[in-house]
Amino acid sequence: MSLARAQMAGHSLVRRNSRSRIGRFTAGLAVQDLPFIIGFAVVARLGHGSEPCGSHAVTRSAPLPNRPDDWTRFCCPGPVCDRVMMMATGVGRPPPLFPGAWLMAVTVAKIELKKVNDASGLVDCIQTGQMRADDIVAVIGKTEGNGGVNDFTRILADEAFRAVLKAHGTRSDGAVARVPMVWSGGCDGVITPHATVFARDDRTGPADQARLAIGVAMSPEIRPEDIGRPAMVETVAEGVRLAMADAGITDPADVHYVQTKTPLLTIDGVTEAAARGQTVACDVHDSMGVSNGTTGLGIAVALGEITMPRAEDICRNLELYSSVASCSSGVELDRAQIVLMGNRAGAGGGFRIGHAVMRDALDIDGIYAAIGNAGLDLPERPRAEDLGGRLVNCFMKCEADRTGRLRGRRQIMLDDSDVHHHRHSKAAVGGVAAAAIGDPAVFVSVDAMHQGPQGGGPVIAIVRVDA
């Protein structure tokens, strides 16, 4: 590897005073990693501070706020040292040496959950050869619980799906535990509990055709006191950049979907933060929306949709949002699980992805716009029958309009003391979406602050484009 190439390749990450990290790093090395180690040594010796080098326009920050003993960054972003960092931390799959280097084809399957801990559909996909257990890199699903802090249906579904990966694959327990599985609770109205499963292998496609590519990452720990604050925005943004590198996508405009699952507050977490002399930004029951909204801003920052927000903008200035973010949160994790999807030339497989936004809860045209953006030719006034069975699934976020109006008419969602407005809006948008695509197994999630325009939300569609 030349010096110039090592300079351009990017970003490295070391942890001060951490012999355990060094031990983990050296233990994971192999002969084929030698070029990456040489590159790491070169850029480390050059020591660029936080200034960018080469052609990269995105810079990485110095140590994250409230992390004086954590990571120190000393070069520009890029795949060489991201690979070294991920080998050292054990977080995520090391990204490619150069953009587009991954050989990748993505297979997608949507399966119904016949009961809360049912993973038989996943077993069928594996046993019929549709995908290999060891190739599965992400799962995004809806479970039938209440969608709240104490919704344990997400944990039951998660355990069932991970058990299948262990039983039918060869990965270690630790490797299976790192597979992002994003479960959104609550199937109000007509929504059917289901999961969309993504597998990735090394097939390629024509260089002049863009097909679905997927990248995954796990962020560093998000502490209770970070939720709703700039530290979480930066942590999520870092993870999104890693997931983008893992997908081999270099242009943020090619990213159409970032699905995350992040921690929320619990009483134990608040108590633990207080014992360290820290405060939290909100109460436990508000933390789901706050965690989702803060994550949405982190995604928007990473993809250049907005600049870094001020602390007072978080969950307040709703003019700031991402058009591709879909953020969920739960008690089952302590860091951000990130699944990023876009289209990349040369990727194999027969799927494409696209996105649009719903301007309000009735914006069925926004759903069809996302499907068209993914690559299906639709008539001027499309119906579900026009999709021809080529739509895999739609993923969308929604929230009650804070003005209490919908197309000029008064709404009572925000005033209902019996049924929370989340359940109203999820059921309503789920019905619109099911009618649009002719399938009630559709991913609809609430708490959409900073995810699409206020009162609406992003819509993402994955379609089959090859017969």
pLDDT at 60: 31
Whole-number Å distance between alpha carbons of 197 and 379: 29
Q: Supply the pTM of this predicted model.
A: 0.79
pLDDT at 13: 31
pLDDT at 267: 94
Strand extents, DSSP E, 160-298: 181-185, 194-201, 210-221, 255-263
H-run or E-run covering 108:
strand 105-112
pLDDT at 90: 42
**Amino acid residing at 213:** A
Which residues does the chain have with pLDDT short of 70? 1-103, 467
Whole-number Å distance between alpha carbons of 91 and 83: 10
pLDDT at 147: 82
Chain segment 324-342, per-residue pLDDT in tens: 999 988 887 899 989 999 9
Cα-based torsion angle of the residue sequence 168, 174, 176, 179 in order, rounded to the nearest 10 degrees: -170
pLDDT at 102: 54
pLDDT at 467: 53
How much of the chain, in percent, has pLDDT values that exceed 90?
70
pLDDT at 146: 87
Whole-number Å distance between alpha carbons of 240 and 217: 7
pLDDT at 83: 44
pLDDT at 400: 94
Residue appearing with tokens 């994790």: 333
Whole-number Å distance between alpha carbons of 233 and 226: 9
Chain segment 226-282, per-residue pLDDT in tens: 999 999 999 999 999 999 999 999 999 999 999 999 999 999 999 999 999 999 999
Which residues belong to the active site? 261, 328
Q: Do 261 and 330 touch, CB atoms closer than 8 A?
A: yes
